[in-house]
Every structure is written in C-alpha cells, then in structure tokens.
A and B are shown apart, each in its own frame.
Chain A
C-alpha cells in the first residue's frame, strides 16, 4: 500500500485558505485512517483561530512508468483543458487538466480537437472507465454516479494553481 497523507484545509475569517499535511504509517484500513484524521483534527483545532474546513486522505502513487512524462519548453500550467461531462443522471462533472498541449487544440478556436487520437482515447477512458485486474473502474461524480458522456472540451486560461 502506498503511504497515505492527510491534508487539512484551514479557512480564516476573510475566506482565505491554507493547507497542511502529514504523512502516516501504512498498513491500516481506510476507516482507521479516517478515525485518525478526525481525532487529530480535534487536537489541531485547539491550536487554531481559523476553522478546519476539510480533511482529505491522499495516497501517493508511483508515476515511474510514465514514459513520455516530460515538461516541454512550451508547457504552461495556466493553460488547461476544460472537459465537461454529464453523468447518467445528467449532473455535470468537470475535469480541468493543467498544462495542456497546444497541439491538441483545434486550429483557430478554443475547442480541444476531438479528432485527435489521444484526446479521443482520454474521453473514451472517462466515458467507459478503464479495466483493471479485478474489473473496470468508472469515473463518477461525488455521488458515485457514472460519468456518461462528454458535453464539451475547451482550452481555458487561469492563474497558476496554489493548492499545496
């Protein structure tokens, strides 16, 4: 099991947010990590004038196998691909991918080129899921409703992410 990390987000009176994280031992269940995170939050709360807004558990994964995972000289995380999907219950799911390659943007527009094979493969993986050893894993919305169909895909610009 990869090493888990708990990330707490703290919000202040003006609505600004800050985050802190802590790494944990491996070998416990998800519910045990959840129990730990809730308990630790009470100790942190005693130290804060701000409010703990959320706690997340993340598991770092190895990306050693990504063969063409390099930053090109033209790369820019302020350019992102905004993919909007509907779920089977017609609720929307947004997937915003920073550092999108300009080569997958249709010429003369802000549309992501859906004729591009890599784009089509990504959209198909989102709509149909990906098969794993013990079955297909399907992307969902927060209510676990399956992502169903692409609505649009466009290039967008934004300020650099400052999440962590």
Chain B
C-alpha cells in the first residue's frame, strides 16, 4: 500500500496536483477505501469544491475508482473512493 500520493514503488504520478495528492493520501490512510467524508476531511474548504473534478483524471488513469449505491432499506447514499489494485498499469498510463 502506498502513502502520501505515491505509488507503492515510490514512483509519483506526474503532474499530480496538491489536491490530488491529498485525495490519494486520504484513500491510503483509510487502507485503500475512503468514504467521501474522509476525503472531505483531508481537504481545506475551497479545495472540497474541486475534489470531484480532481478525482476524475485519477480515475481515468486507473489510480482510483468511485463506487456509489443507495442502501435499499435506509435510503442512505453509500459512496466510497477506492485504490485500484493494478499499480503496474497505473504507472504505465501515468507516464
């Protein structure tokens, strides 16, 4: 598992923004699967509005993915951001 926005072999994705680094750091801190609230806690107020826009490129690179669902009984939204397992593919895509 990687930490602080870095991949496990210490290769950093090029052009990662500070917000993206914080997002990945939050996901890693949560053992690879963070709730939206955990992502928000890792960001300052103005950065929070940018989070969705910053996650999308990471998703396209295959670094993160988002999983959404609604609980069938409570109606509560379940929303988590996960690390994608295949890190070799991520490094290749990023470079």
Contact = CB atoms under 8 A, between A and B. Distances in A.
A124 B75 contact: no
Nearest to A66: B75
Contact of B36 (A65, A106, A120, A150): A120
Contacts of B40: 115, 117
Nearest to A115: B48
Interface residues of B, number: 22
Given A106-B49, A149-B56, A150-B52, A117 B77 contact: yes
A104 to B, nearest CB: 12
Interface of B is mostly: mixed
Contacts of B72: 65
Interface of A is mostly: mixed
Nearest to B75: A67
Given A120-B52, A150-B52, 7 more contacts: A65-B72, A66-B75, A113-B49, A114-B53, A121-B36, A128-B65, A149-B56
Contact of A115 (B49, B59, B68): B49
A118 B77 contact: yes
Interface of A: 65-68, 106, 111, 113-115, 117-118, 120-121, 123-125, 127-128, 130, 149-150
A128 B53 contact: no
A114 B56 contact: no
Contacts of A123: 52
Interface string B49-85: 1111100100100000110100011110111000000
Given A67-B74, A124-B66, A124-B68, A117 B51 contact: no
Contact of A117 (B37, B50, B59, B74): B37
Contacts of A111: 49
A120 B53 contact: no
B52 A114 contact: yes
Nearest to B56: A149
B73 A67 contact: yes
A115 B73 contact: no
Nearest to A106: B49
Contacts of A117: 35-37, 40, 77, 79
A128 B66 contact: yes
B68 A121 contact: yes
A70 B42 CA distance: 33
